[in-house]
């Protein structure tokens, strides 16, 4: 099981690596401007935000749904070839691709947390980071045309589907959510400040995920060196995932507060020193905290906070990475187009707001009479 989980994470996040590192550059190569790139990248997270609400209406994240999503990412990865030069057709392809991706990770995350401890989760999840860095280091050497990037996207999508299919065959308890918390609901408003904080954190990543490659190359850093920056950040992420087990035994809300504050500092340094390669490497080292530790602490906290675990993870990915990613992509596209100097200053402000909301959530918890553990 751990081998299949590791393989799935490896290839799933290889898809993410191609998508966030190279696709913006590919779109710029074929003639799209900053606003268009922002709109295109906003569609997939918007879908990721909307998908969880279907589960409230009775749609189930079952093995059949998971297998459908695997097939969908293969089909849509091929469609990128056909729609790359048509703005509206590309948006449609990206929406379908986003649907597929949004259904995969919640299913696998709950399976992983159910069969391995949260202390060991990081050591399995780090294979996703390895996949991200491997595809970055390989593709940068061969990215001479848009079609090459899409060929790599198709290849890793097929491998993700293969590992996902065999992984799903080991799922024996498809009613896990009902068994644990029959009748439980995901009460978002009872923890509204937590959800706002988590979402704003992902909004702050909009300039990074969508325009970091362009931002660095615009300020005189070569494409090869920019890939090394991406890779260094992922190496720091891997380091954190391997050693974070003991940290996750601590107060998860405190970890989230630290991670959001560090992220605000990270973006502010990128704004202050846009031409400094040393500062860029330093800020990438902070990815260990602002992504790896933040993500693990968030999913671990929600895993114990809510009874309906798959639905909770679906909402986490949908609302934070979905709505947050959508808003981050839209606003960063306009900022990059018209106020590029302030791109990461805006990120720093948004991340600091995320920090304030999570601090408020922690203070609410101190005065709450709710018992520790599964509460909603």
- Closest CA relative to residue 127, chosen from 20, 292, 7, 237: 7
Residue linked to tokens 């991706």: 101
The residue with greater pLDDT, 158 or 242, is: 158
Domain containing 282: what range?
A: 2-367
Q: What mean pLDDT is predicted for residues 234-239?
A: 87
The phi-psi region of residue 187 (left if phi > 0; otherwise alpha if psi is between -120 and 50; otherwise beta) is beta
224 lies in a domain? yes
The alpha carbon torsion through 364, 369, 375, 376 (nearest 10 deg) reads: -70
251 lies in a domain? yes
343 lies in a domain? yes
Domain count within the chain: 1
Q: Is the pTM of this model over 0.85?
A: no
122 lies in a domain? yes
373 lies in a domain? no
User: pLDDT (tens digit, 9 = 90+) per residue, 91-133?
Assistant: 999 989 988 888 888 788 777 777 776 657 777 888 888 888 8
Q: What mean pLDDT is predicted for residues 257-281?
A: 95
Please state, as a whole number, how many other Cβ atoms lie within 10 Å of the Cβ of residue 260: 26
C-beta separation of 38 from 334 below 8 A: yes
Instruction: Please say if the pLDDT value at position 269 is more than 90.
Output: yes
**What pLDDT was estimated at residue 181?**
36
182 lies in a domain? yes
CA distances from 371 to 16, 142, 189, 247, 248 (A): 38, 55, 18, 22, 19
> Residue 312: pLDDT band by 50, 70, 90 thresholds?
confident
CATH no. for residue 281?
1.20.1250.20
376 lies in a domain? no
Structural tokens at position 169: 């065959």
Q: What mean pLDDT is predicted for residues 50-73?
A: 78
Q: What is the 3-state secondary structure (H, E, C) of 132-155?
A: HHHHHHHHCCCCCCHHHHHHHHHH
374 lies in a domain? no
User: Among 42-51, 156-165, 316-325, where is mean pLDDT lowest?
Assistant: 42-51
């Amino acid at each position: 099981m751990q081998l299949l989980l590791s393989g799935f994470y490896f290839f799933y996040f290889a898809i993410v690596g191609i998508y966030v590192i190279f696709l913006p550059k590919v779109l710029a190569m074929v003639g799209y401007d900053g606003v268009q790139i922002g709109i295109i990248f906003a569609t997939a997270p918007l879908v990721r935000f909307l998908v969880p609400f279907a589960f409230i209406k009775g749609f189930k994240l079952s093995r059949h749904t998971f297998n459908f999503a695997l097939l969908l990412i293969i089909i849509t990865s091929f469609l990128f070839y056909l729609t790359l030069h048509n703005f509206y057709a590309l948006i449609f392809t990206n929406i379908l691709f986003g649907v597929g991706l949004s259904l995969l990770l919640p299913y696998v995350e709950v399976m992983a947390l159910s069969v391995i401890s949260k202390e060991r989760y990081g050591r399995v999840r780090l294979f996703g980071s390895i996949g991200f860095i491997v595809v970055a280091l390989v593709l940068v050497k061969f990215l001479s045309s848009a079609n090459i990037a899409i060929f790599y996207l198709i290849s890793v999508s097929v491998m993700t589907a293969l590992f996902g299919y065999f992984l799903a065959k080991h799922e024996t308890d498809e009613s896990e959510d009902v068994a644990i918390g029959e009748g439980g609901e995901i009460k978002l408003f009872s923890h509204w400040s937590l959800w706002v904080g988590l979402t704003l954190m992902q909004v702050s990543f909009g300039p990074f995920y969508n325009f970091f490659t362009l931002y660095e190359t615009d300020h005189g850093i070569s494409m090869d060196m920019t890939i090394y920056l991406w890779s260094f950040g992922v190496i720091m992420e891997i380091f954190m995932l391997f050693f974070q087990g003991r940290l996750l035994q601590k107060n998860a809300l405190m970890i989230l507060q630290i991670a959001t504050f560090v992220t605000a500092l990270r973006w502010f340094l990128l704004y202050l020193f846009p031409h400094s390669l040393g500062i860029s490497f330093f800020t990438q080292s902070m990815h260990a905290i602002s992504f790896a530790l933040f993500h693990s602490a968030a999913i671990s906290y929600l895993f114990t906070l809510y009874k309906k675990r798959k639905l909770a993870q679906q909402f986490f990915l949908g609302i934070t990475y979905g709505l947050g990613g959508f808003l981050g992509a839209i606003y960063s596209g306009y900022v990059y187009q018209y106020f590029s100097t302030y791109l990461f200053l805006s990120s720093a402000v948004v991340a600091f707001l995320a920090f304030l909301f999570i601090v408020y959530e922690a203070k609410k918890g101190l005065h709450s009479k709710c018992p520790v553990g599964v509460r909603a």
